[in-house]
Amino acid sequence: MNATSPRIHFIASARPEAKTAFATLTRRYGQNDIDKADVVVALGGDGTMLEALHTRFHDDLPVYGMHRGSVGFLMNDYSDDNLIERLDSAVRAIIHPLIMKATLMSGEEVVYRAINEVSLIRQTAQAAKLRIFVDNKEQLDVLACDGVLVATPAGSTAYNLSAHGPILPIRSNLLALTPISPFRPRRWRGALLRHDAIVRFETIDGEHRSVAATADTQEVRNVKVVEVREDRQTSLTLLFDEGQALEDRILQEQFAY
């Protein structure tokens, strides 16, 4: 990033407050083409941040978010003042996405990346039945449930936390494997896995107990097998104001009540 005058590319969600902020900030700081920018500034909520990060897999252009939406865990406070100074002093958080490779009942294969989590969810009124392998070793022969997910540390405070999964420190080198409303085994609360673990889910009776798989917001339906692993070769950079680093936010979340 240019230390004196970073070239900024702004993006905004469709919310009125985000559009207003976009107009104000581009008028004040200019709008650079994405291929000439040093940094992306995303205006909206966490959904906007995830969308921005999903477009940066090829270049790792840093993304700085400002909260002009609903949920803003990954966003900085909004202000149209001193943006250049805030960008120059921002703290970097490096994260790695997950790769989801799903084989459908039809035999088709689909590959998506996820920043927060990969989740499997039942498509019908019947519980999903899944077999779970970790590093090619069967760990659960039958999980009857509404679903199950694998979350990154960055995503552990999102859907994973709502499903009563653990909050992971950002540098923990762990993944959270968390069931969603497990019916059998009822007392199973999930597992903590090494970041390089390969998790494979196989549907049981998938023709009748159909299951969908989602990588963040990208969904495929009627899956047969889903394999999830971390993509350590891909890095993404988030920027946070001093004193509001992502690892500090995650630590604070662990003491929230």
CATH number at residue 241: 3.40.50.10330
pLDDT in tens, 186-235: 889 999 999 999 999 999 998 999 999 999 999 999 999 999 999 999 99
Which has more pLDDT, 8 or 2? 8
Residue with tokens 């009563």: 164
- pLDDT of 243 over the 90 cut: no
Does the annotation flag 218 for ligand binding? yes
Q: Give the pLDDT confidence score for residue 256 in this predicted structure.
A: 79
Same structural domain, 135 and 248: no
Q: Give the pLDDT confidence score for residue 4 in this predicted structure.
A: 64
pLDDT in tens, 44-56: 999 999 999 999 9
State mean pLDDT over 88-112.
96
Task: Determine contact, residues 113/97, Cβ cutoff 8 Å.
Answer: yes
Beta pairing class for 211-215 and 117-122:
antiparallel
165 inside domain: yes
Does the annotation flag 160 for ligand binding? yes
User: φ, ψ for residue 103 (rounded to 5)?
Assistant: -105, 120
Exactly one of 33, 35, 38, 46 is catalytic; which is it? 46
User: φ, ψ for residue 231 (rounded to 5)?
Assistant: -100, 85
118 inside domain: yes
Which has more pLDDT, 135 or 251? 135
| 59 catalytic per annotation | no
How far apart, in whole angstroms, are the C-alpha atoms of residue 48 and residue 68?
Answer: 10
CA dist 39 → 61, 62, 153, 243, 255 (Å): 6, 5, 23, 20, 32
Which has more pLDDT, 129 or 70? 129
What percentage of the chain exceeds 70 in pLDDT?
98
Same structural domain, 195 and 240: no
- pLDDT of 248 over the 70 cut: yes
Q: Which residue in 184, 94, 100, 221 sits closest to 149, CA to CA?
A: 100
Range(s) of the domain holding residue 134: 98-230
State mean pLDDT over 27-51.
96
Same structural domain, 105 and 149: yes
- pLDDT of 3 over the 70 cut: no
Does the annotation flag 245 for ligand binding? no
Q: Give the pLDDT confidence score for residue 5 in this predicted structure.
A: 83
Same structural domain, 16 and 80: yes
Does the annotation flag 157 for ligand binding? yes
b/e map 98-108, b = 16+ CB within 10 Å: bbbbbbbeeee
- pLDDT of 2 over the 60 cut: no
State mean pLDDT over 120-148.
97
Does the annotation flag 46 for ligand binding? yes
Same structural domain, 219 and 239: no
Bridge partners of residue 211, in order along the sequence? 122
Does the annotation flag 116 for ligand binding? yes
The CATH number covering residue 106 comes to: 2.60.200.30
Q: Which residue in 64, 85, 60, 81 sits closest to 3, CA to CA?
A: 85
- Vertex 247: Cα angle to 38 and 100 (nearest 5): 75
- pLDDT of 1 over the 80 cut: no
241 inside domain: yes
3 inside domain: no
Average pLDDT, the chain: 94
What percentage of the chain exceeds 90 in pLDDT?
86
Tally of domains within the chain: 2
